[in-house]
A and B are shown apart, each in its own frame.
Chain A
Amino acid sequence: MNNQPQQPVQEMTAGMSIVVQTVTRWVKSFIFLFGLYIVCFGHLTPGGGFSGGVILCCAFILMMLAFGRERALRRLPLGRAGVLDSVGALAFLVIAVVGLFIGGVFFANWLAVPAAAALQRLCAAIGVEPFHLLSAGTIPLCNLAIALKVCTSLFLVFAVLAMLRVEQQEQEE
């Protein structure tokens, strides 16, 4: 039970076998697209920012597992992931605070129930009505912000934990 092969350090940096890499190359875009769909249609169909963000993160984690961390981190460096994480959190908060100023209540849905005349004209111009992609006011925006936040957060956690492992093995050798 204890004889699991201890894999060398290069495994995490160089990635997996060519079968896994080829399948990943085909599949990762579709995973990303499915995540975007779940996020963008969160106010119409089951799903939403949180689950969609986790699916988006799955694409990056799959890339990291298949191709090694160098290539995944070239696509989404840790610093940029941190910035995007903060941007997502701040965007969610900004949407809520704007609701406080326009709608009068914290988290007021200021696009769906427009208080100002200019916003009303804007909504009429876009053609906002229920069961369309452009509907539900701030809810799709919140979904996008949360998806950005969750995706980069989970990617950061995974990357940081994986890197810690490589560092420790390097120190042991």
Chain B
Amino acid sequence: MSIETLSIILLLFIIVGALIAIETPDLLSAVICLGTIDIGFTILFLFLKAPDIAITQMVVEVVCLVILIRATIRRDKAVVTGERQFFGLMVTLAVIAVLALFTLRAVPFLGEFGAPVFTRVESAPAARYLSDGVKDTGAANAVAAVILDYRGYDTLGEATILFASVVGAVALLRRKPRKEVQEADL
């Protein structure tokens, strides 16, 4: 079985899982279906030779499922009863249609499946990352060399986003206020 058919099968599996997750009224089943999506992506990344992404996808998925099930789902209503909003559904479908149109226009420029841009374009930075990565950074893992050396600035932004979101969550959900309620605050 070629990698292409395998990814098509996995993508169909992921789409079916996503549809079930949307349609099922039971929240716990929906969360478990989300888990099947993540499993599908993990296997897909493994077959596409991206073990770094596969590991990250796997562990983040586990933690997200645990947080969703333990910390939020028991507190909420377990079964969704309300009707779906017509306007919101239409907006979503329109956005998906526009994105699909752009994707269809962009796909021919990507080239063959399994042949990334840097194998065709000499001046692409990724070609240099692969050829000079060990000499420049000394890191045997090219992914680590890219995300922490060549593209460290992006990683700093990512870390800042995580930090800011955690600060926000902790500040909103903490048990006691830090200072006394004063007249001026009210």
* Interface of chain A: mostly helix, strand, loop or mixed: helix
**Residue in B51, B62, B137, B169 whose CB lies within 8 Å of A160:** B169
Known: A143-B144, A167-B175. Is A47-B55 also a contact (CB below 8 A)? yes
Scan A121-138; emit 1 where CB is below 8 A from any B CB, else 0. 000000011110001111
Task: Determine if B186 is an interface residue (Cβ-Cβ < 8 Å).
Answer: no
A131: chain B residues at CB < 8 Å are: 140
Number of B positions contacting A (CB below 8 A): 48
Number of A positions contacting B (CB below 8 A): 60
Asked if A139 and B145 sit within 8 Å, CB to CB, the answer is yes
Task: For residue B183, give the distance in angstroms from its CB to the closest CB of chain A.
Answer: 27
Asked if B141 and A157 sit within 8 Å, CB to CB, the answer is no
Task: Determine if A82 is an interface residue (Cβ-Cβ < 8 Å).
Answer: yes
Task: For residue A119, give the distance in angstroms from its CB to the closest CB of chain B.
Answer: 14
B179: chain A residues at CB < 8 Å are: none
Scan B126-162; emit 1 where CB is below 8 A from any A CB, else 0. 0000000010111111011101110011011001101
Asked if A58 and B71 sit within 8 Å, CB to CB, the answer is no
Interface residues of A in 141-173 (CB under 8 A from B): 142-143, 146, 149-150, 153-154, 156-158, 160-165, 167-168
Task: For residue B168, give the distance in angstroms from its CB to the closest CB of chain A.
Answer: 10
Task: For residue A3, give the distance in angstroms from its CB to the closest CB of chain B.
Answer: 9
